[in-house]
Structure 1
Amino acid sequence: MEIVLSKILSQIRHQEDDLSSQMMRTADEAYQMTLFLNEMLGSIKAKVLQDNFVDEQQEIDFFKNIKPQVLGKLIYYNKVFRIETTCPVSNGKIHQSYYENLLKTLKAEYKESICNEDFYRYYRACRIDRDHIYFRLGQINYHDGLKSGVFEIDLSFSTYYDNKIAHIIANELLYTYLLTKINPEENPDAILINGDANKDISWTNSQNALIELIYALYASNSIAHGKIGIRKLALIFQVLFRTPLNDVHHSFHRMKTRAGSRTAFLDQLKMSLEEYMDKDL
């Protein structure tokens, strides 16, 4: 049996990009991604149950690195769908407080049920000494006083701890998503924005130029080997340069059909760099 993580991540990203290009509502996009990922997870499960694992290491790799990526995003998109379809208004103070309260709740849940657990510290430390216990089927030790969720999982397709990693991944994605819904200038967590150290760092070109740069870095897999999505990259640049980016996806798709060069800013960057190099000759 061969299930390649890079191929799975590529399929997920392709589906995300395809849905984004359709300019649908966030709720609709999240719903379609939920259906897509649920079907993908079902196909993977059928393959695992049919073919089994070649050896112990393949089993560990699957439950530690592969399944959590799919399940984590599935949990995340389902949560986004629920959040967007229960949002009381589309803007204003109530809209703002709605997302701020969700962020506070997420932080509280993280502190209470995730960060204080031994397994979370094990996972964050990138340890491997207990992988044979955490990520192999049939190794659950009920004497550890596990949470009741252990009785709700399919033990033929879960080690329990793969579900825990999936929830960690989902919560991190959700945290980033909620930050993008809150005005960074009013967000106390955006230390880069409010800190004095970078108060003079700002983006002085157009929004379209910055969006062009972000997509170029994304398309070339230049940051984190392409594992960071457009939304997260956009948030990073918004925080770093203290500038809001509205309708990133829509702006990009307008660039694709604009007259003249579709990469005007990147062309100018190349020209400016070459001119700067020529000064030293």
Structure 2
Amino acid sequence: MKDTLNNIVAEIQEQERKLSANTTSFIDEAFKMTVYLQELLCTLKEKVVGKGFSTKDEEIHFFKQVKPNILGKLIYYNKVYRIETACPVDNGNLNQNYYALQLRGLTQEYKEHVCSSTFYRYYRSGRTDRDESYFMRGNINYHDGLNSYVFEIDPKFSTYFDYKVAKIVANELIYNYLTTKLNPEQNPDILLQNAETKDIFWTQTKNALIELIYALHASDAISHGKIGIRKISLVFQILFRVSLNDIHNSFHRMKTRAGSRTLFLDQLRYSLEEYMDKEDH
């Protein structure tokens, strides 16, 4: 069971890469990932119910890490599919207002039902002292006044709190998705911040990042060149919390600029060689 669990994340990432390269739209990709993840959960449920776990640590790991990440992505892709299929237009003010409305709804849900909860603070702090109560089956305490969803879950394949973690995972993914649809400068409210990544941000110019993205794409350095510039740029925008706006026009301006057309790449090479020389001393 443990080896199977360790391979799940890699399997999901591989499926995402395949669909990203072969689907014609993100709507199609979101739908197919929803179906794939639902089937994956059903397969895992059969194994868990049939074979169980060999140790307490294995059970806790499954319900704290493995299942919530699968279910979280399932909730995310299903939500994105619903958002995109209901989007009124492809672009313009109506489009921006629609995504802004979705983001406000997510923010409100987060403030009312997530960040104020005792469990959220427990999970975010990285504590483990109550893991046996939260992430092992058969420990649901109805005196805590739990959400009515608890009556719908299968106690053989849920601890209730695994769903809570899945919602946290899903909300972060949905938030990142929506913020890439909007200009972050116009939406400064920070819904969710991962303490481990909040200090990661881009400190060079936006043109420098665009130059790097195009270089990685041109050299087939990401997914063997099978995904487009738009998807690569979305990854970097999420990672570095920066809006790149119309990268295609920026790139075409680079092609006609005076002097070197690869200013940032030239600087990277110089900085790396200088760093290597220092390491040699």
> Hey, what does 1:236 align to over in structure 2?
239
1:54 and 1:22 map into 2 onto residues whose CA distance is 39
Q: 1:80 to 1:202 in 2, by over 3 A?
A: same
Contact kept in structure 2, 1:138 and 1:159, CA below 8 Å: yes
Contact kept in structure 2, 1:75 and 1:167, CA below 8 Å: yes
Deviations 1:194-225 (A, max 9, x none): xxxx9994134473533445999x969xxxxx
> Hey, what does 2:169 align to over in structure 1?
169
Post-superposition shift, 1:36?
Answer: 0.8
User: What are the within-5 Å matches in structure 2 for residues 186-201 of structure 1?
Assistant: 186-189=186-189, 201=204
What residue identity is the alignment partner of 2:238?
Answer: L
> Hey, what does 1:21 align to over in structure 2?
21
SS of structure 2 residue aligned to 1:119: helix
User: What are the within-5 Å matches in structure 2 for residues 46-125 of structure 1?
Assistant: 46-125=46-125
Post-superposition shift, 1:233?
Answer: 3.2
> Hey, what does 1:226 align to over in structure 2?
none
> Hey, what does 1:129 align to over in structure 2?
129
Post-superposition shift, 1:10?
Answer: 1.0
Q: Does 1:209 align with 2:207?
A: no
> Hey, what does 1:159 align to over in structure 2?
159
Contact kept in structure 1, 2:213 and 2:233, CA below 8 Å: no
Contact kept in structure 2, 1:214 and 1:230, CA below 8 Å: no
2:99 and 2:168 map into 1 onto residues whose CA distance is 20
What residue identity is the alignment partner of 2:239?
Answer: I
Q: 1:11 to 1:151 in 2, by over 3 A?
A: same
What residue identity is the alignment partner of 1:167?
Answer: K
Contact kept in structure 1, 2:206 and 2:244, CA below 8 Å: yes
1:272 and 1:165 map into 2 onto residues whose CA distance is 44
Q: Percent identity?
A: 44
Q: Which runs of 5+ in 2 are unaligned?
A: 191-200, 224-231, 252-261
Q: 1:236 to 1:215 in 2, by over 3 A?
A: farther
Q: Which runs of 5+ in 1 are unaligned?
A: 191-197, 221-228, 252-263
Q: 1:200 to 1:119 in 2, by over 3 A?
A: closer
1:141 and 1:215 map into 2 onto residues whose CA distance is 55
1:200 and 1:219 map into 2 onto residues whose CA distance is 22
What residue identity is the alignment partner of 2:26?
Answer: T
